[in-house]
A and B are shown apart, each in its own frame.
Chain A
Amino acid sequence: MDAIFGLNEIKQVAQLFWKQHQQKKVWAFHAPMGAGKTTFIHALCEFLQVKDAISSPTFSIINEYKSEMLGTIYHMDWYRLKDEEEAVQAGIEDALLSKNLCLVEWPEKALGLLPDDTLHIYIEALDTSTRRIFMQDAGE
């Protein structure tokens, strides 16, 4: 899937992604700072009926939400992690192996921990209010 959208269309795009890829348990979001990873995940989690406050996990590393549709969802941000060793220490593996939906920001910090069937999503900022979101194998 490949979509170009503005902020007012983000909910529809998140829904479309979910409809196409809901069998995937680990979603890795590749994008530079300010591209809208947290904002996209926020829209997706709202669609998945998360009742908790959905916010950036940069500081907390792992946010745990309860979704009416899916039960537990892990929203992670590996930005502050140095390497895979730190990721393991933070308990990333427990979340990844839990079979719950995992939404990962800054997956580059510990790519080796991601399962083979991870959905790799890329977000590009085209201008201040327009984004392109698409899928691709990691590292391509």
Chain B
Amino acid sequence: MSNFIANQKVHEQYGGVVPELASRAHMQNIVPVVDAAVSSAHINLSSVDAIAFTQAPGLIGSLLVGTQFAKSLSLALHKPLIAVHHMQAHVLANLIDENNKPDFPFLCLTVSGGHTQIVVANSPLDLKVIGETIDDAAGEAFDKTAKLLGLPYPGGPLIDKYAKEGNPYAFKFAEPQISELNFSFSGLKTSVLYFLQKQDTTFIQNNLNDLCASVQHTIISILLKKIQKAVKQTGIKNVCIAGGVSANSGLRKALTETGEQLGWRTFIPKFEYCTDNAAMIAITAYYKYLANDFVALDISPTARAEW
């Protein structure tokens, strides 16, 4: 298997801000990336069984580049074409590691900069969203509260870093009362904002570690309460996480500890399979291939997140 990501140069070019927005960058990168992936896997393109691509959701310009390229390859190589949903692929990233993967059914908490979802996976192709954010994503809550604390954007990883040295109970921030299994993080942002406005100018500087630890504790508490509720409602005790925020050390620790206390089996994919990656698209395509779930050449990508 080969999981190739080409964003180094683009990251530099865009100052690490919005590398994924440029369909022009996608066009420049797609041929060299596919070449590099094929050669590092020591295969020929003609030996693959199918061509898979991300059909949704995302910026339409970027999706179009991948879709058109996959269609062209499929046509030229006479290989079947498989359309993959980015958010389903995040969930199935938990199946990449043969030696450490959950049995079905499992619950997956997908947490990233743009998404926060709880998904029930009954089988690889039977995935259902049972909870999601009604405003900010968990990753966004990290990044935006970091910004309020004067840290550079996106500051989620810095919060994690400073939190390690701080007291998570030093300050109390609002937790939302949201029905069912849905999430809300915008109230936390406002709560932090108002709290900081009441303090003097050196407060953040003098309390940064405690502030970060308290913010992180609140975000993780919101996430874990809902996943606990989901376990209770569904009776499913295989619990996975996915998405870039699963790199957060506090979340990993809290999930593992909660799992041990409550008798869950918990799974956290390797970091390279948590952030956006091609391997998760490939593993999803593998199961779709087994199910003969192919698409015709008239398929078009969509920006909508709906499954």
A residues adjacent to B (C-beta < 8 A):
33-34, 36, 38-39, 42, 51-56, 58-66, 80-82, 86, 89-91, 94, 125, 128
The interface bits of chain B over 1-34 (1 if a CB of A lies within 8 angstroms of the residue's CB, else 0) are 0000000000000110110011110000000000
Does B51 lie at the interface of the complex (its beta carbon under 8 Å from any beta carbon of A)? Answer: no
Tell me which of B23, B59, B112, B192 has the highest count of chain A C-beta atoms within 10 A of its own C-beta: B59
Does B175 lie at the interface of the complex (its beta carbon under 8 Å from any beta carbon of A)? Answer: no
A90 touches which one: B18, B139, B306 (CB < 8 A)? Answer: B18
Which A residues touch B147, using CB under 8 A?
33
Is the contact region of chain A dominated by helix, strand, or loop, or is it mixed?
A: loop
Q: Which 7 A-B pairs have the closest CB atoms?
A: A59-B114, A64-B303, A59-B113, A90-B21, A34-B193, A34-B190, A56-B136
- Whether B305 pairs with A91 at a CB distance below 8 angstroms is no
Does B220 lie at the interface of the complex (its beta carbon under 8 Å from any beta carbon of A)? Answer: no
B148-198 residues at the A interface, CB under 8 angstroms = 148, 153, 186, 189-194
A89 touches which one: B22, B113, B137 (CB < 8 A)? Answer: B22
- Whether B132 pairs with A33 at a CB distance below 8 angstroms is no
Does B134 lie at the interface of the complex (its beta carbon under 8 Å from any beta carbon of A)? Answer: yes
| Least distance between A32 CB and chain B CB atoms (Å) | 8
Which A residues touch B140, using CB under 8 A?
56, 58-59
| Least distance between A108 CB and chain B CB atoms (Å) | 15
- Whether B135 pairs with A81 at a CB distance below 8 angstroms is no
The interface bits of chain B over 291-307 (1 if a CB of A lies within 8 angstroms of the residue's CB, else 0) are 00000000000111110
Chain B residues bordering chain A, tally (CB within 8 A): 42
Does B57 lie at the interface of the complex (its beta carbon under 8 Å from any beta carbon of A)? Answer: yes
Taken together as a complex, chains A and B put the C-alpha atoms of A80 and B189 apart, in Å, by 17
| Least distance between A110 CB and chain B CB atoms (Å) | 12
B residues adjacent to A (C-beta < 8 A):
14-15, 17-18, 21-24, 57-61, 112-115, 129, 132-137, 139-140, 144, 147-148, 153, 186, 189-194, 302-306
Which A residues touch B114, using CB under 8 A?
58-60
Supposing A42-B134, A42-B135 touch, asked if A86 and B148 sit within 8 A by C-beta, the answer is no
Which B residues touch A94, using CB under 8 A?
60
In the complex, what residue of chain A is closest to B143 when comparing beta carbons?
A58
Which B residues touch A82, using CB under 8 A?
15, 17-18
A56 touches which one: B135, B153, B194, B303 (CB < 8 A)? Answer: B135
Taken together as a complex, chains A and B put the C-alpha atoms of A33 and B112 apart, in Å, by 20
Which B residues touch A38, using CB under 8 A?
135-136, 186
Tell me which of B15, B194, B302 has the highest count of chain A C-beta atoms within 10 A of its own C-beta: B194
Which B residues touch A33, using CB under 8 A?
144, 147-148, 189, 193
In the complex, what residue of chain B is closest to A52 when comparing beta carbons?
B306
- Whether B59 pairs with A91 at a CB distance below 8 angstroms is yes
A55 touches which one: B21, B58, B134, B303 (CB < 8 A)? Answer: B134
